[in-house]
Structure 1
Amino acid sequence: MRIGFIGTGIMGRPMAGHLQAAGHQLWLAPHRSPAPEELVAGGATVCASARALAAAVEAVILMLPDTPDVERALFGADGVVAGLRPGTLVIDMSSIDPIATRDFAARVAEAGGEYVDAPVSGGEVGAKAASLTIMCGGSAAAFARAKPLFGAMGKNITLVGEVGAGQVAKVANQIVVALNIAAVGEALLFAAKAGVDPGKVREALLGGFAASRVLEVHGQRMIDRTFAPGFRIALHQKDLNLALGSARALGLALPGTAGAQQLFSACVARGGADWDHSALVRALEALADHEIARAAP
């Protein structure tokens, strides 16, 4: 297919690369940074605007940081909708507001396009390995058109429901991940403060009911102090804001989510907006005045 891709950052760059490797032709509209050299070298066409991109392709994929970014890319003066051809498939793989998503989908449909929201989970590691979990909302027909593209980028691909359902599933995912990071951080910090090697504790827990992907990957990050971003705290904060805002609208209490958001806020106050979200443990360490570290041999 002729695919337009907008948002080739930490996640979007490898995702677009997998599509190119699968034989699809790419058109790129730079967002905040130039088009990646390796994609251009592989034959991608760089467009001056999202409008020009949309006029050339059969499907447009967006992988952008937040709701306003998606709105500008779609509906700005030189946005996707201004150049949209009838029947074009618009796939938003960003993590944004579910209510805004439904509005965006209606506006794209008015312009003659089809819309699928398809946020992802798996982080930079999953994006590079083409093993992302992809949570989709849209019609069965639109999902069927998009699924071969998803197959180049991910493995667990689910049509959750109508438009917006994918974003609801992603918000739920981010609640689980945030609380799991906090739980792993507390557990390893407890071990370290008690004088036990947190690395050995992590190994032991991986063999039992406490095992999780967060314990496996982010537990190791906490021990090794490797907080270069795979998924930035600022982005996870944005996702929890979506969760808490939606919860207020639903009259729903999410106390664990609110607590995790406060820990992220404490990290941001210390200059950590761009730390990996596993660095939430630094807020817990500050409260304990103790840092997780691998015990000396």
Structure 2
Amino acid sequence: MTNVSVIGLGIMGLPMATNLVDAGFSVTGYNRSQPKIDEFVAQGGSGAASVAEAARDADVIITMVPDSPDVEAVVTGDDGVFANAKPGALWIDASTIRPDVAKQLSDDARAAGIRPLDAPVSGGEQGAIDGVLSIMIGGEKADVDDAQNVLNAVGKTIVHVGPSGSGQTVKAANQLIVAANIQALAEAVVFLEAYGVDTEAGLTVLGGGLAGSKVLDQKGQKMLDRNFDPGFRLTLHNKDLGIVTAAAREANVSIPLGATVAQLVGNLVAQGDGGLDHSGLFTQVARSSGRK
């Protein structure tokens, strides 16, 4: 399999597509906005004028769009992936969407003769740039095996976690853990600053102990610098936490911490801060503590 199409060239999709080009694949990119396509072409890829054109000759089609309705819009209809991909093509949805939608779309894909994998990713913009994303995959094992070379070009930790929909379920758990970690880190930074501690030194030693995490490594300095340029927007994390809370309710699982953090994220989005990086949770902690 050498022809890969990437539909959705945003913060995550563009570096993923570029890494596929660098790995030697023939890659076609499509995005709703032309400047992103132009940027990808400048980095060695090819551009498509529509979803149908992107899907038509691809052996592997990767979708990386914001939400469940966006995925549905891309894959269904006369101009969608299912109507235009060749039989036997692999469809890898790297978006983060509802598990039930992933399962239904996987069934629809198989009915259309396409092999689906729900394969959401974790690692943020930097992980996408570095090609070290963690990828959790739902689908048939044989299809996962066939997609391995493509997945290796964009990820480092690649795990088949079960049948269709399972990847999205694991991603929901991931987003729950990440949000809770960011909130705890934000509170810790404000706490350290209130006592006049050398915060950079403090985070260094915390990162070397049990409190260490990738969240601390990637988001701690952003909080110290008050730099909340988006790597992953709060509005998207708000959407993801909606998925988590709804799925937990369906399964009769209690997530009191998750529900609290979901409310805090939702508050920031409602106040107009949804464009901040999710480390922007820090701003709410700082304000409520009377600090800047």
TM-score range, shorter chain: over 0.9
RMSD across aligned positions (CA): 1.4
Bigger CA drift: 250-259 or 115-124?
250-259
Instruction: Indicate the residue corresponding to 1:129 in structure 2.
Output: 130
| 1:222 counterpart letter in structure 2 | M
Instruction: Indicate the residue corresponding to 2:228 in structure 1.
Output: 227
| 1:65 counterpart letter in structure 2 | P
Q: Alpha-carbon deviation of 1:43?
A: 4.8
| Whole-angstrom CA distance in 1 between matches of 2:283 and 2:34 | 30
| 1:265 counterpart letter in structure 2 | G
Q: How does 1:48-197 map to 2 (within 5 A)?
A: 48-197=49-198
Gaps of at least 5 residues in structure 2 are none
Q: Alpha-carbon deviation of 1:191?
A: 1.4
Residue identity (%): 41
Q: How does 1:7-26 map to 2 (within 5 A)?
A: 7-26=8-27
Aligned residue for 1:36, secondary structure, equals helix
Aligned residue for 2:35, secondary structure, equals coil
State whether structure 2 residue 211 is matched by structure 1 residue 215.
no
Mapped contact 2:133–2:155 kept (Cα < 8 A): yes
Q: Deviation per CA, 1:229-248: give whole Å up to 9, x if none.
A: 00000111111100000011
Q: Alpha-carbon deviation of 1:33?
A: 4.6
| Whole-angstrom CA distance in 2 between matches of 1:27 and 1:209 | 43
Instruction: Indicate the residue corresponding to 1:253 in structure 2.
Output: 254
Aligned residue for 1:76, secondary structure, equals coil
Q: Alpha-carbon deviation of 1:114?
A: 0.2
| Whole-angstrom CA distance in 2 between matches of 1:58 and 1:79 | 16
Instruction: Indicate the residue corresponding to 1:267 in structure 2.
Output: 268
Q: Deviation per CA, 1:40-78: give whole Å up to 9, x if none.
A: 245533222212222211111001111100000000331
| Whole-angstrom CA distance in 2 between matches of 1:46 and 1:209 | 46
Mapped contact 1:181–1:278 kept (Cα < 8 A): yes
Q: Deviation per CA, 1:88-123: give whole Å up to 9, x if none.
A: 110000111111000000001000000001110000
| 1:238 counterpart letter in structure 2 | K
| 1:128 counterpart letter in structure 2 | I
Gaps of at least 5 residues in structure 1 are 292-297
Q: Alpha-carbon deviation of 1:199?
A: 2.2
Runs of 4+ in 1 over 6 A off after TM superposition: none
With the length of structure 2 as denominator, give the TM-score of the two structures.
Answer: 0.96
| 1:68 counterpart letter in structure 2 | P
Q: Alpha-carbon deviation of 1:264?
A: 1.2
Mapped contact 1:263–1:284 kept (Cα < 8 A): no
Mapped contact 1:10–1:230 kept (Cα < 8 A): yes
| 1:246 counterpart letter in structure 2 | A
Q: Alpha-carbon deviation of 1:228?
A: 0.1
State whether structure 2 residue 287 is matched by structure 1 residue 286.
yes
| Whole-angstrom CA distance in 1 between matches of 2:229 and 2:152 | 28
Mapped contact 2:4–2:27 kept (Cα < 8 A): yes
| 1:219 counterpart letter in structure 2 | G
Bigger CA drift: 258-267 or 63-72?
258-267
| Whole-angstrom CA distance in 2 between matches of 1:82 and 1:233 | 34
Aligned residue for 2:97, secondary structure, equals coil
With the length of structure 1 as denominator, give the TM-score of the two structures.
Answer: 0.94
Q: 1:290 to 1:104 in 2, by over 3 A?
A: same
Q: Alpha-carbon deviation of 1:194?
A: 2.4
Mapped contact 2:229–2:277 kept (Cα < 8 A): yes
Mapped contact 2:181–2:215 kept (Cα < 8 A): yes
| 1:167 counterpart letter in structure 2 | Q
